[in-house]
A = this chain, B = another copy of it.
Amino acid sequence: MSIENERPPESPLTLATFLPYRLSVMSAVVSEGLARLYNERFGIAIPEWRVLATVGEFRSVTAKAVGLHAHMGKVKVSRAAASLETRGLIRRVPNAADGREAFLALTPDGEAMYGEIAPLALSYAGRLTETLSAADRAALDRLIDLLLRRAGEMNAPGPPGEASPAGA
């Protein structure tokens, strides 16, 4: 019993090299900086920013479309939109053809704020990658697309007949 190696000397799993963990930290650090920017200068949080950005991008969208585009649940969209409306940054235009939904659009104040935040956001993203070569930037975009697609496939129920049913 001289050497009590109850487990192989190096554990095969180290958090610091575990991709999901690394992605999570990277995203958190980036979001943190950006959120501080929005928050300090404009008193706006990330869900509100995403709605503002989506409405700014499309000029007139339903809440549902915002959720799809900005990857947010409908509750979050509803709350963020309510907050933006209260602050006079967006307005609701009821859809005459479908009483359930309404289009969201920027008010003049909303346009003004969007006009200020958007360049700031773009500059933040630009500074983030300005030390990368063009090839690296392209690789990054491609890799993100690949991982997004791959993770989406892995999360999806998979072709019927596979291990998806509840019991498995």
Given the complex of chains A and B, what is the CA–CA distance between A57 and B71 in angstroms? 34
Q: Does A19 contact B (CB under 8 A)?
A: yes
Interface residues on A, range: 35 or more
Q: Does A103 contact B (CB under 8 A)?
A: no
- Say yes or no: B11 contacts A57, CB within 8 Å: yes
Q: Does A159 contact B (CB under 8 A)?
A: no
Q: Does A112 contact B (CB under 8 A)?
A: no
Chain B residues within an 8 Å CB radius of A56 = 11, 13
A-B contacts besides A23-B31, A33-B151, 19 pairs, CB < 8 Å: A13-B118, A13-B122, A19-B140, A20-B125, A21-B50, A23-B27, A24-B31, A25-B148, A26-B147, A29-B148, A32-B155, A127-B150, A127-B154, A128-B147, A128-B150, A131-B150, A132-B143, A136-B146, A139-B139
